[in-house]
Amino acid sequence: MKFHLIGIGGAGMSVVADLLLAQGHSVHGSDRADSQNVRRLRDAGAVVAVGHAQENMDDDAIVVVSSAIKPENPELHIARARGQKIMHRSQALAFAAQNKDFVAVAGAHGKTSTTGMLAVALAELGLDPSRAIGGSLAGGLSGGYLGSGQILVAEADESDQSFLNYAPRVALVLNIEADHLDHYGTLEKFEQAFVDFSQRIVPGGLLVCCADNDGSRALAEQAVQAGARVWTYGRTECSIGQAHALLRDPDADADPDADAQCARIVFGAQNYELKMAVPGEHMLLNAVGAWLVGVELGISGQDMARALQAFRGTGRRFELRGEQRGIKVIDDYAHHPTEVEATLRTAKSLFSGKVRVLFQPHLYSRTKNFAQRFAQALSLADDVVVTSVYAAREVPSDGVEGDAITAFLPTADYIPDRIQAAHEIARRAEPGDAILTVGAGDVTELGAVILEELEKNS
């Protein structure tokens, strides 16, 4: 079959392209600019045009779009005029996942890392799973891969309700917190989308929920009342579902491991040692959810706990970009206040020097809705510079910019020009400090700018 993917270089769309290519389909596409993903897909056999134009379109292709593609896009416009078949990205992923045991990872944050954990652990156990992850894995592995095994693990994107196109065998819900209100309008509608998602689980399937998160716990309660199979996990006891995995500190007599953070999972009458090679308390908690998915898939608890240690992280999730003059530069995708807080708590636990943050807000609507919460999260850092909003799919909003956040955090500086902001945060740093570039936009490109400035001033 022939597919044309508009915006093929995007994180989610490139994964679909990877899967379709691996299945032997003809993949064409376009994107507004050249990128690493575009180049990689070309090398894999895709035909990709830079820029959107009607002449890029073959009239016999199935057109795949995401919610970010505007109706006036010339390729989408001509496809509709011709009556070509048009699929949402999530529908194309569901197509690529046919006849697989579909494991969907959902939540307001933590999806990419947790989906990566599952994919790596299952691969470590020799199951060769397929994966659809909106980011690369450590070691430069693509987020999209068609394996020979029966399992496909995928991020379930709630931002536009597209996760309602899936029918998973197992659904893992990490958390439910207000986000994407530009699409949903209210928290109640956002929460209802997760209820609808849970009802998409195939008969006999399983819903796994984090009981430590209020939204996810409430979903578990509703699902149990509706007669669904539900397992929960968390740091505290919970009796909502049919089973609960408890995250505990390691046993007192456990062997210490300097290269891992250690804990144990209590499940029924059994204890399982959990070691994670990635930092952060939130990573341990997410790993317990991933562990429960593995158990549901028939893997022994001991084997699943061991396999999770093979996970080394995903691109843009607390990713070390380099070091100059004893100053580490780390990039992180956090773009929700809870994510920012988790990232900064991790940084504060790892570094003895000052934690300095260059934060780029993502979306005007999110900045407006959560300005005060962003300020509270960023206050954990020792030094904060906020730059201008990364618009992504939105148009500029009157009166909303990065200074909406610094208005609630007087110790932070607002520097609209992102290059100037990068130079400034670098000039302040001293040996032993860590500089974090944080956000879902092109702030990721500023790590190189900061390292160059650090080297220049060495």
Catalytic residue numbers, as ranges: 111-112, 155
End-to-end CA gap in the chain: 56
- The token pair that represents 286 in the structure block: 């997410």
Q: Which residue has the tokens 């008969």?
A: 203
From 367, 368, 379, 371, select the one nearest 410 (Cα to Cα).
379
From 82, 83, 79, select the one nearest 28 (Cα to Cα).
79
From 181, 185, 161, 107, select the one nearest 365 (Cα to Cα).
181
- Residue 365 exposed, middle or buried by CB count within 10 Å (0-12, 13-18, 19+): middle
Contact partners, residue 312, CB within 8 Å, separation at least 6: 120, 137, 138, 139, 277, 278
- Alpha carbon of 368 to those of 191, 361, 391, 403, 419: distances in Å? 20, 10, 12, 10, 23
Q: Is 321 helix (H, G, I), strand (E, B) or coil?
A: strand
Helix or strand run (H / E) with residue 300: none
From 403, 390, 383, 380, select the one nearest 445 (Cα to Cα).
390
Residues 25 and 95: beta-carbon distance below 8 Å = no
Contact partners, residue 212, CB within 8 Å, separation at least 6: 234, 235, 236, 285
Longest CA–CA span in the chain (Å) reads: 69
- The token pair that represents 124 in the structure block: 């470590």
Strands (E) across 136-279 are located at 144-145, 151-155, 170-173, 206-210, 230-234, 243-248, 261-267, 270-276
Cα-Cα-Cα-Cα dihedral of 222, 225, 226, 228, to 10°? 90
Distance from C-alpha of 371 to C-alpha of 1, rounded to nearest angstrom: 46
Tell how strand 130-132 and strand 144-145 pair up: antiparallel
Tell how strand 230-234 and strand 151-155 pair up: unpaired
